[in-house]
Amino acid sequence: MISSGTDLYTDAHLFVAAIRVLTHCNQTPPSVEKVCRQLKISLERGGFIMRQLEKEEIIDIVKQLHGDRLFVKNHLNIENFQQRDSQSDLDNALSALKAEK
């Protein structure tokens, strides 16, 4: 399960691992819904992670009639997340709000 306090680097590793496990167990690439269910995260959070991974060319999304399927493309690109500041403006704002309380 991905907690709300994890960074994108950790989330990316968990998301890619879930894609691999589900592909292995089901013998077919999973949908984002199945990955989110496996990780116990919201579809919104999963969609955000999925888009970031696609943008960094870590995963491929293949559009199909019965739902999009996720494939691992280049897992080594996950290391790009660690090199950057992994917190977004929203994360920084939430941290500041928590600190004030």
Domain ranges of the chain: 8-96
Digit-coded pLDDT (tens) for 2-41: 655 578 899 999 999 999 999 999 999 999 999 999 999 9
Which residues 6+ apart lie within 8 Å of 81 measured at CB?
7, 8, 9, 12, 52, 56
Digit-coded pLDDT (tens) for 37-82: 999 999 999 999 999 999 999 999 999 888 899 999 999 989 887 7
pTM of the model: 0.75
* pLDDT of amino acid 97: 82
* pLDDT of amino acid 91: 73
Which CATH architecture does the domain made up of 8-96 adopt? Orthogonal Bundle (1.10)
